[in-house]
Amino acid sequence: MCLGRTQRIGMSHLPSYREDDAIGPLQRDEAIALFGIIRTIRPKVVVEFGFFHGHSAFNFLQALPGDSRLYSYDIDAESIKRAKTEFNFDQRFAFIGKSQTDFDPGDIENQAIDFVFFDAAHELELNIQTFQRIIACLAPEGMIAIHDTGLWHRSHFAPIHETFTRECRGEWKDEDFYAHQPGERAFIDWILLEYQDFSAIHFHTPRTLRHGFSLLQRKRSLAS
Ligand SMILES: C[S@@+](CC[C@H](N)C(=O)[O-])C[C@H]1O[C@@H](n2cnc3c(N)ncnc32)[C@H](O)[C@@H]1O
């Protein structure tokens, strides 16, 4: 039996996550950060948009307490198959095979959302529609995490990033910095403009190849 400081806390999956060449799933060090955030705040209800192959979902499940629930959305046939066959081990997990824009409070049993993770469409208009559907369900201290809000610095590019810049719809901000998902960055600006009761903090850096994520929460006074 493991006791006290030697007790296992479910982090053994993290070294297997990719860091420098991860495109699609979140990066290993982002997974470590999100694992710590989830362990810290222990949300009861987590909603994820963008299951893909389940890396972020598995990470959330490893960090979440036994009485929490994770609701994960995806529309891709392969993702739907994987969620049904590879994630049926965990009763806390519910997969919803529909678009993020079709979110309905009934999908999550009309519960308040404590933590929501946006990592699906990467399109401003679809994210706005989704936000407008979830905002009434967000708990007063609920947290919103949005993936892919950072800039890639050219000095850290691997061949996969060179290929991405040629084939995808990102944009160079200057000679060195590339926005791989400009829609996610615009989404943050839109939230902060339209919902001025929210503030944001960004987990971005030019010191490594970082997709980046942002955390948003309603402002509140702690003293009063
Ligand atoms: C970047 S991947 C998600 C990665 C995953 N969060 C992880 O870190 O392991 C994006 C996923 O969003 C899904 N997606 C794209 N548009 C969507 C939409 N409108 N609604 C729900 N899922 C969508 C794609 O099928 C894809 O599996």
Q: Can you give the residue ranges of every domain in the chain?
A: 25-218
Atom of ligand 1 nearest to the CA of 74: 22
Indicate if the pLDDT at residue 3 is higher than 70: no
3-state secondary structure 91-125: CCEEEECCCHHHCCHHHHCCCCEEEEEECCCCCHH
Pocket of ligand 1 (CB under 6 A): 24-26, 49-53, 55-56, 73-76, 79, 99-101, 119-121, 126
Residue nearest to atom 8 of ligand 1 (CA): 25
- Three-state secondary structure along 153-167? EHHHCCHHHHHHHHH
CA 66 – ligand 1 centroid, Å: 25
The fold of 25-218 is Rossmann fold (3.40.50)
pLDDT (0 to 100) of residue 222: 96
- Residue 203 has a pLDDT of 98
Per-residue pLDDT tens digits for 129-155: 999 999 999 999 999 999 999 999 999
Residue with tokens 């901000």: 173
Q: For atom 18 of ligand 1, which residue has the closest CA? A: 99
Note the pLDDT tens digit of each residue in 14-26: 999 999 988 889 9
The first and second tokens of residue 104, run together, are 């309905």
Which of 18, 19, 34, 52 to probe ligand 1 with, by most ligand atoms within 8 A of CB? 52
Query: Average pLDDT of 156-163?
Result: 95
- 59-63, 87-91, 144-148: which range is least confident on average? 87-91
6: CA distance to ligand 1 center in Å? 36
